[in-house]
Every structure is written in structure tokens, then in C-alpha cells.
Amino acid sequence: MSKRKPYTRELPVDWWLKQIFYTKYMIREGTSLLITVYSLILAWGVLRLSQGEGAFNGWLDALQSPLAIILHLLMLIFALYHTVTWFSLAPKAADLWFNGKKIEDKVIVAGHYGAFAVVTIFCLLIITL
Amino acid sequence: MSELTIDIDVLRYRPEIDEQPFTQTFSVPYTADMSILEALQYIKDNIDSSVSFRWSCRMAICGSCGMMINGVPKLGCKAFLRDYYPQKVSLEPLANFPIERDLVVVMDDFIKKLEEIKPYLIPEKEKCLSEGAYQQTPEQMAKYKQYSMCINCGLCYAACPQYALDNKFLGPAALALISRYNRDSRDNGEALRMKIVNQEEGVWGCTFVGYCSVVCPKDVDPAAAIQLLKVESSKDYLIGMFKPD
């Protein structure tokens, strides 16, 4: 008779706190919640804009409150964290070959930061000019 | 023999006696060039011959001695006491697999998944031996070589929380193995394998944690294989909308 009795270990609920790599991953995924909130605030602004000048100015005023500023700072930090971690992973999703050789990871990452800088400057120009 | 010693915690489980695993601590003479696997062999030869663990080549080729070393999936032969000394080392069987005995895990599910994905060349037309070998340029080989380096050690499955949460997920090594064959210029079985890739349990079960690629002892980078297969799967879906089979 077989004495086999394989033992299956339970996955603890806090598995993602036991390894820093998993914790960082959960934070990266969690940032999307705050980015969703930010998108909703922007969408709300577009809706207020369609309701006239008064409504839109009310939305702008609401954004000046200390709570709104703190929330936006928090959302900026999380968005930047997401950006940095995502850019570092980008080479894994790119299979670019040049002259029979795979393009190096750091070139792809640098390309992302370059595009990020160009888009940021472009947006700033639109807003300020 | 060296007078220095290091403590090693081993998670023991003897199915004929134990209801659940327990930790046993062994004191082993320490030398800087001693691997974790050699420490286990010292324990088996000199302290407790009942300690069970898998090993074969001692040089990171066979993929037998995968285990959790201080909670990180590693090959016992490729990890050294000097990287832990003077702290104690904790050894546990590979996570996310059932324990057979001590550090030996049941890998049946992993092997079944490797077999499922048609891990062999499916040429468009079988050639007669007299026609010679299937030719390939170095460039064509470079497209898949990295994914062919897998030694089936299972470390990536022990590192994958998605596999831990639901073991129906095909998992890193099997998906990387799909890439190995799909990217091979001599192979024509991509359409067959994409049916497996496209499933929820295929690439879409992956949430890109990326730890599989960190722990891989052969730099196969299964996370990259899976993300690229997601691109292929999306293309497959789009093409299928306009041109059903």
C-alpha cells in the first residue's frame, strides 16, 4: 500500500507582504486605483464644461482646496511610480530587432523616457502658450 | 575541518508519520565554497540520513535541486553558504507545489503542462532523411535560443503568485516553451499552440508580476515570453475577427 500523502500548503492572505518584490508589484497595480480617480475628476471637469462657464469655474475652484491639492500630489506620486516601474518593464513587451540583433533593453527604456519628456514639454507648451 | 558552523533550518515532512511539516535545525561546518546542496549532502551523510531532497548534476544543468532558500526559489547547487553566513539559512520545498517528502515536491502538474503545449518541432512538411537536415541561420536561431535554455527546474512556478492562487494557469515555463517552438523557423505548429495561448489559463492568466524572470537560473525570461505572446494573442484575435478559420 502506498504511503504517499502529498501535503498542500495554504497560501497566506498576506503573501504579498512577505516578499518585497510582491509588495512593490501590488503597489504598482494599486496605483491604477488613484489614476482612475484622477481620470474621473478630469471627466467630471469636461462634463461641467458642457454645462456652462459657471459650472466649469465651480469645478476649477473646487480643485484649489487644500484637500484637492493634497490628493493631486498623491496621485502625481503614484502616477510617477507607475510610470517608472512600467518603463523598466517595457523591454519585456518589446521584440525589436535591428541588423539581426535584438535591440538592448536600455535603449528601449531610454526611448520611453525620451517620448515621455517630449510629450510633457508639448503639453506644457499647449497649456502655457 | 573548519571550526566555524552555520545553522540550517530544514522543513521536514514525513508522510508516513507527520500530519504537517515541521522545522528541524542542523548545525553544519561552514566553508566559504560550500553550496546549499553540499550542506544538505553533509547533513544526509553525517547527521540524519532520512532527510530527502532531489539533486543530480551539481552544476545548474539538471534543474533537480530547486528549493526555497530563505523564502526565495533557488537551485541548491547555485546558492552558497557564504551569502548567508553567519545568519542561519532556512530551506523549504519549492512553494506552490504539494510536498511529497521533506524538500521533495510533487511536480506532476508542471510536467503535464510542459507536455500539453506540443513541445516538439511540427514541420510544415516532413522531410525524408536523405534530403538532409532542416537548415537554419544563426539569426533565425537567435530568435528562440534564450527560450530553449530552460532546465525545467520549476523555480518560476514557485515564484508565480498567479499559479499559487489558481494552478489552472499554464504558468511561466510552459508558456516560455511555447515561445521556444513558435519562434523556431523550422516549426509550423504556431496555429495549434495559439489555441492554448489564447485561453484564460494561457497568457491571459498572467498579470505581469515578473518575479519568474528574476528567479530563473538560466535567464530564460519567461515574463518577456508571456508579454510577447500576449501581443501575438491579440493579433490572433484581431485577425480572427476579419478572417475566421
Residue A12 placed within a domain: no
The count of domains in chain A is 2
B210 φ/ψ sector (left φ>0, alpha ψ -120 to 50, else beta) = left
Phi, psi angle pair for B54, to nearest 5°: -95, 140
Domain that holds residue A51: 17-84
Residue A7 placed within a domain: no
The complex's ipTM works out to 0.89
**Domains of chain B by start residue, with CATH:** 5-105 (3.10.20.30), 108-242 (1.10.1060.10)
Average pLDDT score, chain B: 95
Residue A60 placed within a domain: yes
Residue A113 placed within a domain: yes
What is the least distance, in Å, from the CA of B88 to any CA of chain A? 18
Domain match, A38 and A64 both = yes
Give the pLDDT of residue A84.
94
Of A29-33, A77-81, A96-100, B135-139, the poorest mean pLDDT is in A96-100
- Residue-wise pLDDT for B90-101, tens only, equals 999 999 999 999
Residue A35 placed within a domain: yes
Residues in A closer than 8 angstroms to B98, CB to CB, are 6-9
- Among residues B211, B205, B161, the alpha carbon closest in space to that of A13 is found at B161
- Residue-wise pLDDT for B27-46, tens only, equals 999 999 999 999 999 999 99
B106 φ/ψ sector (left φ>0, alpha ψ -120 to 50, else beta) = beta
Residue A4 placed within a domain: no
Q: What is the interface size between A and B, counted as CB pairs within 8 Å? A: 65
Inspect the interface and report whether the beta carbons of A4 and B209 lie closer than 8 Å: no
Domain match, A21 and A78 both = yes
Domain match, A98 and A80 both = no
Inspect the interface and report whether the beta carbons of B210 and A11 lie closer than 8 Å: no
| pLDDT at residue B116 is higher than 60 | yes
Give the pLDDT of residue A129.
83
Domain match, A116 and A72 both = no
| pLDDT at residue B1 is higher than 80 | no
| pLDDT at residue A83 is higher than 70 | yes
Residue A50 placed within a domain: yes
Confidence of residue B245 (pLDDT cuts 50, 70, 90): low
Percent of chain B at pLDDT above 70?
99
Give the pLDDT of residue A32.
93
pTM: 0.91
Q: Are A6 and B14 in contact (CB under 8 A)?
A: no
Domain match, A107 and A79 both = no
Residues in B closer than 8 angstroms to A93, CB to CB, are 224, 227-228, 230-231
Q: What is the mean pLDDT of residues B106-132?
A: 94
Domain match, A76 and A98 both = no
Give the pLDDT of residue B219.
95
Residues in A closer than 8 angstroms to B213, CB to CB, are 92
Domain match, A55 and A102 both = no
Strands (E), chain B: 5-12, 22-29, 66-69, 72-75, 89-92, 99-101, 104-105
- Residue-wise pLDDT for A38-69, tens only, equals 999 999 999 999 999 999 999 999 999 999 99
Domain match, A80 and A105 both = no
Domain match, A79 and A112 both = no
- Residue-wise pLDDT for B134-148, tens only, equals 899 999 999 999 999
Residue A9 placed within a domain: no
Domain match, A58 and A111 both = no
Residue A62: other Cβ atoms inside 10 A? 14
Alpha-helix runs per DSSP H in A65-104:
66-89
Domain match, A75 and A105 both = no
Given B165, B207, B228, which is nearest A95 (Cβ)? B228
Domain match, A100 and A79 both = no
- The CATH number covering residue A36 comes to 1.20.1300.10
Inspect the interface and report whether the beta carbons of B142 and A7 lie closer than 8 Å: no
Task: State yes or no: cis peptide before B86, omega within 30 of 0.
Answer: yes
